[in-house]
Amino acid sequence: MNPLILDGRKVAQSVKDNLKVQINELKSHGITPKLATILVGNDEASKTYVQMKANTCHKLGMESERVFLPEETTTEELLDVINRLNNDDQVHGILLQHPVPSHIDERLAFDTIALEKDVDGVTSHGFGATTFQLGAYPCCTPAAILQVIDFYNIELEGKHAVVIGRSPILGKPVSMMLLNRNATVTICHSKTENLDEVVRQADIVVAAVGRPKFVKGEWLKEGAIVLDAGYNPGNIGDCDYDTCYPKSSAITPVPGGIGPVTISMLLKHTVEAAQTQLNVSKKQTNVS
């Protein structure tokens, strides 16, 4: 029996269809969800990502603001821009495009983003709130992984999930999110000994290591579910798809798997932030 292909494009379209309804409802109250994206420097790939996000916003009827800053921008100048956007009631979500030039204190910049506008889940406070299930917006790629899992009704409770990768915006948060859904989670990384043996115990494998074709089919136990969050040059994932496919019961392709859902989650968080602003405004009106 062939594995189930976990089609991220189908999942992303489902998210966008729901967002269109929510956006129209918000507009009826005079609010248009708006995402502000900040790009520091001249990285061509980052420019492409920013343009893609803006295009998707406009297709859904959202607004976008793109702030382009020169390579020599200082940390202080970047913080000034972030604070301006924090204080702009027309902006509901803020995204600082990674990476920023090396002379900038990226962590300080991320943590300056107001929590209620941290739609990319990059603040330290946001990570903590996600871990404790306090309602913050999670990082978008981990959110996309969970969205795919839910769309295809993949059971998590009691399952052993092995996450390969420990980055603060992918491996660590997705591990906490899976744990909060009652999966048993093992986090692996570059220092893990006998990695193939650990992966072979997994019901669910999340590949988030940033190395092309790193996870081999012979590492998988028969029927494992493979969620490949990697995206390397040449549209190659972190899993060796050709060898992982026959061993798995379900697998995400690259491209067309987690990637399309990631962008849709960014927009979903922005719309939710706009809805929260509307709800707060209604409460304040009722009180007054």
Annotated catalytic residue within 7, 97, 268, 275:
97
Annotated catalytic residue within 16, 34, 53, 268:
53
> Is 120 in the active site?
yes
> Is 53 in the active site?
yes
SS3 for 100?
Answer: coil
> Is 34 in the active site?
no
Beta strand ranges found along the chain (DSSP E): 4-5, 34-40, 63-69, 93-96, 160-164, 184-188, 204-207, 224-228, 248-251
SS3 for 166?
Answer: coil
The tokens for 10 are 């189908």
Q: Which residues contact 16 (CB under 8 A, 6 or more apart)?
A: 60, 264, 267
β-pair partners for 93: 35
Annotated catalytic residue within 118, 120, 203, 228:
120
Nearest to 37 by CA among 265, 260, 266, 262: 266
H/E segment holding residue 51: helix 44-60
Dihedral of CA atoms 219, 223, 225, 231 in degrees, nearest 10, equals 50
Residues identified as active-site: 53, 97, 120
